[in-house]
Chains A and B, each alone.
Chain A
Amino acid sequence: MRFKGKVFKYGDNVDTDVIIPARYLNSSDPEELATHCMEDLDSSFTERVEKGDIIVAGKNFGSGSSREHAPLAIKTAGISCVIAESFARIFYRNAINIGLPILISKEAAVNIEEGTCLEVDLEQGTIKDLDHNQTYTAEPFPEFMQEIIKAGGLIEKIKGEVGR
């Protein structure tokens, strides 16, 4: 899988409460959730985001609540991939389980700037900064997680197994 898009850059500890505030959790409709994505951190996010865009953030992205509404909102808003220095563990699981591509790269997280145009190759784990002609390599996923990603998420993977 390859993606190309412009960067939305955020700092450390972006928590799931700012990704999708609890006041909107009385709905679980992804389209509805997406209209409030990042609202408390970046109020113009939903107006500016275009299909394929990429979030680049610092440490501990997705910390806090287990709400899967957070990666769902990001994915439905059109974000193709999240790159961070590290991810909070429940967010990490959720992203893999629902098929929101994530990549871990400290270098990329530190160097890439807001608005930059990136090209990401998920299989290779490469992140190409097209504006500065710079390439970063992300940490590879353990094989087990790659299987989930390849199956298209945890539910698809299990479906195959329980159906056997």
Chain B
Amino acid sequence: MGMTMVEKIIAAHTDEDRVRPGQIVNARVDIVLGNDVTTPVAVKEFNKIGVNRVFDRERVVIVPDHFTPNKDISSAEQALLVRKFAREQEITNYFEVGEMGIEHCLLPEKGLALPGEIIVGADSHTCTYGALGAFATGVGSTDMAAAMATGQLWFRVPPTIKFIYSGRLNPWVSGKDLILYTIGDIGVDGALYRAMEFSGEAISNLSMDGRMTMSNMAIEAGGKCGLIACDEKTREYLKDRAVREYTAYESDPDAEYEKIIEYDVSEIEPQVAFPHLPENTRPVSQASHVKIDQAVIGSCTNGRIEDLRIAAEVLKNNHVHPDVRCLVFPGTQAIYKQAIKEGLIDIFIDAGVAVSTPTCGPCLGGHMGILAKGERAISTTNRNFVGRMGHPESEVYLASPAVAAASAIKGYITHPEEVVR
């Protein structure tokens, strides 16, 4: 009996030849990640352990992105604590405001997340790097502290659910729509404790940006990780980025899956997840005429260059509806710069969009776009929980950049084809 990708990666980081779902192992980790919200708690725990230095200063990555540029005095103090720790420990990969981006956009761009690696991050969307063929998973601050001190962490080897996406995508359908559709199908705990493996023709045809969007939301189905096998596209993406050598793993043909789920993507239209769960999905044609007050385009889910290109394509020669605030958050400085170079930022500003420096901002109801009581947003982010973007009685609808941009123009949830003919 063969092994799945996640089993191979975990086994390669232990002294065992093979591991089995359910087994608990201590495995070496390649990267430990934290942000300005989770690192302060981790530093407190790290200091209790009694080691002086982190296990490897080049393998701890710290990105203050949630409440930065500092939103208030308390967040400034948290950011300061994190900065001091990074300096004391001489962390190579600490990214200050001006260099930083949203962590899950930044790490792949910097070549810090590589195929075959184990990456743990004190942030639930660490699963994004599954798109590069890494076993990447979110953990808590105490886990981060333990991993920083020892370079190891305990894992329960997950069973794998394989998803096969066949067929060709319809116009305006993206990785975001595929993952929303999947979560709508299996539910927010449909992959609880499981590894999700995304495969098939539609995944092969998807860009790296689109793949990262999919892996990013594995956690929204309860998944431990969302893996996509490394292929030519992955290697091409990593060619001038990878900071280390890497080994790619693929599932064996006779690997044992807990379940195999198949979708024909030609039947899928752009999706919208209604409040207050990402599983409340509907095709956009059944979501129209929901009035919105705000449209947010960005985040670790959809803040990459391809996302901004699609949003700009829709917004070009159009204008944001007078009753709507439209906000664009490029994921990193490099993405921001590329968007300027391609004229996307001009298109946004001409359309009446507010463009921000990279930050998590409104995605978690942090700052820069908080909703008032009763307000409604369409957002390219990943969660629409109660109070996620502000007041507990506000609402978030999740969708792709194309749908968010089209909705910003019309003032209600709209299929992009109604705006761009």
What is the interface of chain A, defined by CB distance below 8 A to chain B?
A: 13, 15, 17-18, 21-23, 25-28, 40-41, 59-60, 63-69, 71-72, 86, 88-90, 93-94, 97-98, 142, 144-145, 153-155, 158-159, 161-163
B74: CB under 8 A from chain A? yes
B269: CB under 8 A from chain A? no
Closest residue of chain A to B360 (Cβ to Cβ) is A22
Closest residue of chain B to A89 (Cβ to Cβ) is B193
Say whether B74 contacts A26, CB under 8 Å: yes
Say whether A18 contacts B78, CB under 8 Å: no
Say whether B142 contacts A26, CB under 8 Å: no
Closest residue of chain A to B370 (Cβ to Cβ) is A23
Task: A69 to B150: give the CA distance in the assembly, Å.
Answer: 23
What is the interface of chain B, defined by CB distance below 8 A to chain A?
A: 24, 37-38, 40-41, 44-45, 48-51, 66-67, 71-72, 74-75, 78, 121-124, 126, 138-143, 145-146, 149-150, 154, 156, 188-189, 192-193, 219, 222, 224, 277, 364-366, 383, 385-388, 392
Say whether A23 contacts B365, CB under 8 Å: yes
How many contacting A-B pairs (Cβ < 8 A)? 141
Closest residue of chain B to A143 (Cβ to Cβ) is B24
Say whether B222 contacts A88, CB under 8 Å: yes
Residues on A with C-beta less than 8 A from B385 are: 15, 17-18, 64
Residues on B with C-beta less than 8 A from A90 are: 124, 138-140, 219
Closest residue of chain A to B391 (Cβ to Cβ) is A40
Residue from the list B75, B126, B189 in contact with A26, Cβ < 8 A: B75
Say whether A94 contacts B140, CB under 8 Å: yes
In the A-B complex, the 8 residue pairs with the closest CB atoms: A94-B140, A26-B74, A68-B140, A60-B189, A97-B142, A66-B124, A40-B387, A22-B364
Q: List 30 A-B contacts (CB under 8 A).
A: A17-B365, A17-B388, A21-B365, A40-B386, A40-B387, A40-B392, A60-B188, A60-B189, A63-B188, A66-B122, A66-B138, A67-B38, A68-B38, A68-B140, A88-B222, A89-B193, A94-B140, A94-B141, A94-B142, A94-B143, A97-B146, A142-B24, A144-B154, A153-B142, A155-B45, A155-B49, A158-B49, A158-B146, A159-B50, A163-B50
Residues on B with C-beta less than 8 A from A15 are: 383, 385-386
Closest residue of chain B to A72 (Cβ to Cβ) is B41
Say whether B143 contacts A97, CB under 8 Å: yes
Given contacts A40-B386, A66-B122, contact A93 B140 (CB under 8 A): yes
Instruction: Give chain B nearest CB distance to A131 CB in angstroms.
Output: 30
Instruction: Give chain A nearest CB distance to B224 CB in angstroms.
Output: 6
Say whether B222 contacts A155, CB under 8 Å: no
Task: A25 to B387: give the CA distance in the assembly, Å.
Answer: 14
Closest residue of chain B to A97 (Cβ to Cβ) is B142
Given contacts A21-B365, A155-B49, A162-B49, contact A66 B387 (CB under 8 A): no
Residues on B with C-beta less than 8 A from A97 are: 140, 142-143, 146
Instruction: Give chain B nearest CB distance to A41 CB in angstroms.
Output: 7
Task: A63 to B220: give the CA distance in the assembly, Å.
Answer: 8
Given contacts A25-B37, A155-B145, contact A144 B24 (CB under 8 A): yes
Task: A21 to B193: give the CA distance in the assembly, Å.
Answer: 24
Given contacts A13-B277, A66-B124, A68-B141, contact A155 B37 (CB under 8 A): no
Task: A159 to B219: give the CA distance in the assembly, Å.
Answer: 30
Residues on A with C-beta less than 8 A from B38 are: 66-68
Given contacts A22-B365, A144-B24, contact A88 B189 (CB under 8 A): yes
Instruction: Give chain A nearest CB distance to B193 CB in angstroms.
Output: 5
Task: A60 to B392: give the CA distance in the assembly, Å.
Answer: 20
Residues on B with C-beta less than 8 A from A64 are: 124, 219, 383, 385
Residue from the list A17, A28, A142 in contact with B78, Cβ < 8 A: A28
Task: A158 to B150: give the CA distance in the assembly, Å.
Answer: 9
With A145-B24, A162-B51 given, can you name 14 additional A-B contacts, CB distance below 8 Å?
Answer: A21-B387, A23-B366, A27-B74, A28-B44, A63-B222, A65-B364, A66-B121, A89-B192, A89-B222, A89-B224, A97-B140, A97-B146, A153-B142, A162-B49
Task: A40 to B188: give the CA distance in the assembly, Å.
Answer: 20
Residues on A with C-beta less than 8 A from B219 are: 64, 90
Residues on B with C-beta less than 8 A from A161 are: 150
Residues on B with C-beta less than 8 A from A86 are: 189, 192
Closest residue of chain A to B387 (Cβ to Cβ) is A40
Task: A162 to B386: give the CA distance in the assembly, Å.
Answer: 42
Say whether B67 contacts A26, CB under 8 Å: yes
Task: A22 to B142: give the CA distance in the assembly, Å.
Answer: 19
Say whether A41 contacts B386, CB under 8 Å: yes
Task: A90 to B139: give the CA distance in the assembly, Å.
Answer: 6
Instruction: Give chain B nearest CB distance to A96 CB in angstroms.
Output: 9
Task: A162 to B364: give the CA distance in the assembly, Å.
Answer: 36
Residues on B with C-beta less than 8 A from A154 are: 142-143, 146
Say whether A65 contacts B124, CB under 8 Å: yes
Residues on A with C-beta less than 8 A from B48 are: 155, 159
Residues on B with C-beta less than 8 A from A13 are: 188-189, 277
Task: A72 to B38: give the CA distance in the assembly, Å.
Answer: 12
